[in-house]
Amino acid sequence: MYHKTHWTVDKIRRRLELIEDEQLIYRRTADLPPFRWTALPDPMTLPPLGAGLDTSDWATIEPGTYWGQRFSSYILSTTFQTPAGWDKDSPIALYLPLGIAGDFSHPESLAYIDGEPYAAADRHHQEFLLPAKWCDGKPHQLDLHTWTGLWGEKPVPDIGGLFMKTCKVVQIDQPLRDFVVTARVALETAEIIDDNNVAKGYLLNALDDAFKILDTREPFGDDIYASVPAAHAALKAGIAKAGPPLDVEVIGTGHAHIDVAWLWTLGVTRRKAGRTFHTVMRLMEQFPFYHFTQSQPQLYDYVRQDYPDSLNPSKRASPTSAGNPSAACGSRPTATSAAPNRWHASSCSAAPSSSTTLVKMPTPKCSGCLTSLAMPGICHS
């Protein structure tokens, strides 16, 4: 009754929205120069890439403007560099809000840095971490091989273009991100459990106490970040009073359901597979316990052909004998149980062209994460 009277759930939800809307997770930011862009004739045309690329006759996409057409492939090009004085021990990322098509994960891009395919960006993954070699304060070339998507099912789409927001190099405040994730999980848990469950009151007490400590007064500055350790400690202490967790272990494996030549051409499918696999590789680097399965052997073979250096076992890890089968040929599972290898594939005698060698990916220590919530079963294709 107390928390209903004092609107605790609504107040905490609004505080979390404030942190997200103001992008307070990003302690420091540096805007990227506007993208120069040009259309490609089809998805499989290799895009022009790398330093020295002449983009003088390409159009410019200014932040706050609309760009692109549906079902189209483009190359977007700009540069970035990390400003001097940024903390090298805090995670640094690229933030790429290229627009929202309103369907699936579109638009989707594969980011090339200095000509190297590295990570995917889409409306579910607008941020990816940068390794130290590109956080050296020097200019680096950023090229995005992009497909715009469907823009809905209508012959004339409801949107006239993709709305480009300001793209940035960002420095992530990991303690605040960790606090936000803990708070969001506690709030969502409190909202779904029964009012008669005493744990609900303890969770709302914990949230109320924590957000009284967290300094979200405007203007936003160092005060909010200085208040995070005490706020997070109070939140975790309050959650502990709600009782021990259930004696249940949930195991999930990330799975990419990629429809081949469904609402798009085969060429688009091949590029989608490449983007998905690059996303998965970055997630594996961040989360040591992350597992991934993709149940269509032909897509492994397409990626092997299209991005040989990215998935070359001799360059990335020692090969294993085989992945564990996740499905028979033609079936489309959404999850499988975890197994020793971090890559899993289907075994299918009907796909003789699939000769991909499966690898166990390296697991360097996570220096920061996109969501800070290590839920290994989540991966959008």
CATH T-level fold of 26-172: Jelly Rolls (2.60.120)
Give residue 335's pLDDT.
36
CA distance 292 to 296: 13
| β-bridge pairing 65-67 and 254-255 | unpaired
Residues in the chain: 381
Strands 343-345 and 292-294: parallel
Report how far residue 369's alpha carbon sits from residue 177's, in angstroms, rounded to the nearest whole number.
Answer: 9
Cα(113)–Cα(80) distance, rounded to whole angstroms? 10
Cα atoms in the Cβ-side hemisphere of radius 13 Å centred on 203: 24
Q: Would you state the structure tokens that stand for residue 365, as one six-digit string?
A: 């220590």
pLDDT averaged over the chain? 83
pLDDT of residue 310: 83
| Token duo for residue 126 | 């607008």
- Give dist(CA 113, CA 110) in Å, integer: 10
User: For residue range 183-230, what is the model confidence (pLDDT) as tens digits?
Assistant: 999 999 999 999 999 999 999 999 999 999 999 999 999 999 999 999
- For the chain, residues with pLDDT lower than 50 are 313-314, 316-341, 345-381
Domain boundaries for CATH 2.60.120.260 within the chain: 26-172
Residue 367: half-sphere exposure toward Cβ, Cα within 13 Å: 15
pLDDT at site 381: 32
Is residue 78 within 8 Å of residue 33, measured between CB atoms? Answer: yes
pLDDT digits (tens, 9 = 90+) for 300-346: 899 999 999 887 644 543 333 223 334 333 333 333 333 334 555 44
